[in-house]
Structure formats: C-alpha cells, structure tokens
Structure 1
C-alpha cells in the first residue's frame, strides 16, 4: 500500500519535469539570416520635378494702332487660319486721315505742276537776259520745294492707308485661340506698348512641359533623355516625352535655385491642356535585363559568430580598398557566409545593378536577427545554419 503514493509522487515529478522541458525551458537563441537571389530586371536613375504644360508655339496677336474695338470674329477655343479676320477697330478716323492725306497730295501735285511751268518760263527769260540770276535761282528753289512736298504727301498717304489696314486684325498663323483679352466697344491704346488682343497656339498636338529642376539634379540631365509624367486630370495614365533643352537662366525662390527644363510631349489625343501641372520623372540612366540585388545587401555586415555557432565567416581574399564602382556583399554557401567583391553600375537607392561578381544562383544575405529556436522553426525563413531540435520518434514498438 505504501508503494502507491511513491509512484504517484514520482509521476508528478516526471510530468513537472517534462512540462518544464517542453514548455517552460528557455529556448536557445540562434542567429537567422534573410537572403535573396539576384534577379534580372529593369533599373533606372531618375530625377523628379514638377512643371507646367504649355503649347510649343504661341503668338500674342496685338494692334499697332489705337482705337475702339468695333467687332470681334473669334473667341476662346476658336480654330483659325492664317489671314483670317479676328477683329476690326473703328475705322472712321483712319478713313478721314486717308482722305486728308489724299487732299494734301493733290494740292502738292497741283503746286508742282505750276512750279514746273513757272521754272520753264523763268529759264527762257534768264537765257535772253530778261531776269537776274537771283530770280532764276528762286524759281529753281520753289520748284524743288514743290517736288519734295509731293514726296512728303505721298508718304503721309501711305502711312494713313497703312494705319487704315492695321485697324483690321488678322491671324498670323493657323492655330487655336487660347485667350481673348478684349470685348466689343473696348478702347485699346497702342501709344507705349502693343496691347495683346488674342493669344493663339499654333498646334495643340505638340505640347511641351516647362519643368523646374533643382540645381543639385540639373547636372545629370542631358538632351533627348526619356521622360514620363502624370497630370491630375488623368492620374491613371502616364505620358511620354523627351528632354529638349535646359535653359541657362536660373530662377531663385526662397534661396532655392532651379533651372527651367523644356520637355517635348506629343499630344495627339489632345488630352493635355495648357496650364496643367505635371509630376515629372526624368530618366538620366537606365538599363534593361540587368542583374539586380537589394540596396541593403551592399550595406550588410555580419556580426562575429559565437564560438559554438553552426556557421563561419569567410572574408574575401582581396581586402584592398573598394573602388567607386565596387561593393562587398555576403552570400550563404554551405555552412559559411562568404564575402565577395562585386562591381556595380546603376543605383536607384532601393536596388543596385551588378556588373560582375554574382550569379542568379547566389544567396545574397541582406539582414540577420537573433531569435529563439522555437520562433525560428515556426518561421518559413529559418536559417539553415540554425540547430534544429531532433524529431520525436512516434512509432509504436
């Protein structure tokens, strides 16, 4: 009878030990590694900017004469042809100026005819000695003055007729009217500057983006580089363009220096409208079918393994200083982390182009972490260098 309490006590002790061993005993801490294989993809170095969409060629149509707008024959968005009548100023004063110039010219021509006849008579009289040299010279002077007056009045008539023609405003190009700045009955004064009556875009199928590029980025941009941009009106669509020129006139705002960069953008479907704001990406360098690794792989450095760690570090044989286009990375190989020197190309701050030193089969380590055996076994990315708990034999004997 005394054996039963002993057996029960022993069973309790064993169960307590098993519970502690399997559930309460601290799990050993191990080092796990995250790695990725190099892959083939596209990479690009880019410059971002914002800009405004404008027509490639616009013409401000003004007037060289002052007057009151009598009639307007074009409005916003009107499609016009070269030579088409756009507006007419009040012509009454211009017609009166032409009539006056014609009258003055007729009087000058009449006077010239009289002075021509008078000079002929004075010349005959002077030849026979009937008049003095002074009288003859006076007749010649009066004739020349009358002749000059005719030339002057001809010029005045031409000016008056030109002003009359300028009272009609014609389109200088084929295009679309972007803005109309006057209304019928409005007076325009061209005394000091030419007032703009209309703004006409030559071809809305050829647009350009005027981008403001920061001075820190402008040195990387070259003509004809590829550009993509979006506008708020069509957020789901990406538009294409090419860099045309970088204007050398800087703009300074709040101590920030920017340069206007002109980007040509085809607009065959006429979706782009003048004045739209564009969010721009300029591709300064890019490569297709490039071998790529994450940026963090080039900055990873493993910690020194513990004496009993199931892995070891193998440093690169050549540990000389890295060149500008070289990096060190670590790859997993058997039970080792092997350091390799690689040559790199483009870097977009998230991934790096590998020119030499790696293959797609390599497992490039990007990070490490310390965790328990239990947590590591539960995760899919458990390190192959980590010791595993042996499986229990559940076979019945």
Structure 2
C-alpha cells in the first residue's frame, strides 16, 4: 500500500501535465531570465565604466593642460595709418548770383559739369530798358559837351577883346564861370552814362574764377533779382576735398601736409591728397574734430557723396599681433595671455591700425607678454594650459 502510494506520487510529479511540474518549470524559466538580465546589466555597467571613465579622465586632464600656441610680439616699427570717413565737397564752393537790379533771363550758356574760365559769360538778363537809358544819357553827354565847347569859345574871344578894352574884367569872370559850369555838366552826364553802363554789365552773369560748375538753378524766362538765391554753384579750380571727422585723441597725431588716400564709396579709385586744414575746435557733443583733405578733381568725386580716407600719420613703435590673437566682445577688444603659472588671463587692449601685417596694439600690453596666438575663443580665464611658443611673425 505504501509502495503503491509512493509510486503514484512519483508518477504524478514526472507527468508533464502535472501542475506541480509546470510550476517548477516556470520557476526555472523565471530564474534563468533573471540571471540573463543581471549578466547583461553587469556587462553594460562594466563596459561603460571601463571605456568612458578613462576617456572622461583623459578629457579632464586635457582640459586642465590644453596645448596652446603663444607668441611674445615685442615691439615693431609700424606705419601709423588712421582710417576716417566723411563727405566729399568742393574745397571752395562759390555761389554765383545776380549783382544788379535783375530782370528776365534771356539766355543760359552753361550747365552743371561744365568747366569755365574766369570772366566767362554764364547767363544774360534782358537789358532793353537799361539800353534806352544809356542812349538818353549819351545824348545828354553830347549836349553838355557842346555847351562846354561853346562856353570855351566865348571865353577865348572875350579874353582877346579885354586887351582892347571892349570887354570888362567882370565879363571875363562870368564867361569863365559859364565855361566851368558847362564842363561840370559834362562830367555829370559822363558819370551817369558810366553808371548805367555798369548796371548793364551787371546783367551779364559771369564766372568769378575758373572752375567747375556744380549746380545750375536758373532757366531762360525766369525773372531774377538781387534777392534771388544763387543761380550757379561752382568749385574754384575744380579743387575738391574730403571733410572727415576724427576723435580728439587721433587729431593730436596729425598735422597739415600729411599725405592721405581717399577712396570714394562705390568705386575702387584711390585718390592721393594731403591734409590742408585741421579744425581748431572739438564738437562738444561728439568729441570729434574735422580734418579737411585736399584732393584734385576726379570723375569719381561727386560733392555730397561719401568716402573713406587712409591718413599716414608717421611711424609708431608698438606690439604687432596676428588678427587671430585679438578677440572682441561687448566689453571691447582683448587678448589672452599665459602667466607664469601657465594660467590663461584676459587683458583688455586698444587696437590701433589693422592691415595685412596684422593688428597694432595701441595700449593694454607692452609686447613682453606670452599672447595666445589662436583658438583663444575656446579658452576661459584661469584655465591651465601647456604653452608652445612660436616666433612673433611667421614667414
């Protein structure tokens, strides 16, 4: 009986359809899955820790001791060139208007852009009334001259008769007075005619000097007078200039006669000129003064236009850096230097001139510092670096 019971229980357990065997198999499967999950997690953890941890450490070390190229620029003799901008204008802008009483314009002989010589006729004004007045005065002058001639003849005859006693001394005095009055009337008539002729001459608008007509503001048929605005504008001798504005500090290094190159906006023309005037005052609002650069006439120059000037203001002794070494932000221009502890420091600088050779530093460094030559934007103040020095100028 007992053997049969034991056999029965063993058979029930070995039977695949037995509930007990199913639970046991399920427990084994779950255990295997858990073991696999644990092994995968361990592998992932070991892989991440084994690969990324050394990389992170290496990256931290690299950040702490990044290799940078530095230069010690010293000081160089650099041509000091100031860049300024301003407005083009005639050096002597001459307005030409009507000097006489005026009238109706009968002809205009020149236009804007024409070259004229001194005294050349630019425009004429109707003079029909003045011409008639001149004719009347010429007739009056002729009559006065005839009266003077008659008085002179009578005085001469009376002088011959006074010696014979036919004419008294008083008669001679009266005839002398009559002759003098006639001569005076001739002078008055002649002066009146000359004044009228001068007025007629003023009806001709003529060029006060030789030069270039810049603007024409008169047309045939227009009525003009002494109060009419300028009829023409002209540049004396065609001379032009650039009126540039510079800071008070820049003005101190300039003097009359320094050469300058003027480049009109929109062109590639480079016109050579010289400073002919420096403003003796500073604008209290902008803290700038005006520099006037005389330049010869050129077709690219249009008064009222804009231009840039490069002013050669001598030679300066200053540090010269490559453009990659100079950075800028909201605070202004700066460079990074590497101190004695191999740490990065920011140094604010003032830039002088910029050209193909590099950037001239006007102030902020003296040239003895180790300046980060490039990649400064990837550094931060206080960062440890490994400096690698190179020559200040690469050939």
Q: Is residue 235 of structure 2 the alignment partner of residue 201 of structure 1?
A: yes
In terms of Rg, which structure is larger?
2
The CA deviation at 1:276 is: 0.6
What value does the CA root-mean-square deviation take over the aligned residues? 4.8
Alignment match of 1:245 (pick from 267, 276, 279): 276
1:80 Cα offset (Å): 4.2
How far residue 136 of structure 1 moved from its aligned partner, in angstroms, is 3.1
Q: CA deviation at 1:87?
A: 1.8
1:212 aligns with 2:253: no
Residue matched to 1:221:
254
> Is 1:32 aligned to 2:82, yes or no?
no
Q: Which runs of 5+ in 2 are unaligned?
A: 1-37, 328-332, 344-350, 389-395
**Cα distance in 1 between the residues matched to 2:387 and 2:279:** 58
How far did 1:210 drift? 1.9
Counterpart mapping for 1:187-198 below 5 A: 187-190=223-226, 196-198=230-232
Deviates more, 1:36-45 or 1:69-78: 36-45
Q: Which has the higher strand share?
A: 1
Larger mean Cα displacement after TM superposition, 134-143 or 108-117: 134-143
> 1:24/1:149 Cα in 2 relative to 1: closer, same or farther (>3 Å)?
same
Pair 1:271 & 2:300 matched: yes
TM-score, length of structure 2 as denominator length: 0.64
**1:216-243 deviations in whole A, cap 9, x for unaligned?**
4322222343434444433xx2634333
Bigger mean CA deviation after superposition, 92-101 or 17-26: 17-26
What is the DSSP-based 3-state SS (H/G/I as helix, E as strand, rest coil) of the residue aligned with 1:119?
helix
> How many residues get paired?
329
Which residue number in structure 1 is paired with residue 147 of structure 2? 111
Q: Measure how far apart 1:298 and its partner are.
A: 9.6
Q: CA distance change for structure 1 residues 215 and 145 in 2, over 3 Å: closer, same or farther?
A: farther
Q: CA deviation at 1:113?
A: 1.5
Whether 1:292 aligns to 2:327 is no
1:282 aligns with 2:311: yes
Picking from 243, 261, 282, the partner of 2:291 is: 261
What is the DSSP-based 3-state SS (H/G/I as helix, E as strand, rest coil) of the residue aligned with 1:196?
coil
Residue 33 (structure 2) aligns with: none
Residue 102 of structure 1: aligned partner: 138
Matched-pair contact (CA < 8 Å) for 2:335–2:371 = no
Gaps of 5+ in 1: 1-8, 306-310, 313-345, 377-381, 386-397
Aligned: 1:383 with 2:383: no
- On the 8 A contact 1:55/1:203 being kept in 2, the answer is no
TM-superposed deviation, 1:246: 2.3
1:151 matched to 2:187: yes
Q: What is the CA distance between 1:84 and its match in structure 2? A: 4.4
Equivalent of 2:106 in 62, 66, 70: 70
Deviation readout 1:312-344 (Å, 9 max, x if unpaired): 9xxxxxxxxxxxxxxxxxxxxxxxxxxxxxxxx
Q: Residue 115 of structure 1 aligns to a residue in which SS?
A: helix
Contact 1:213 1:261 in 2 (8 A): yes
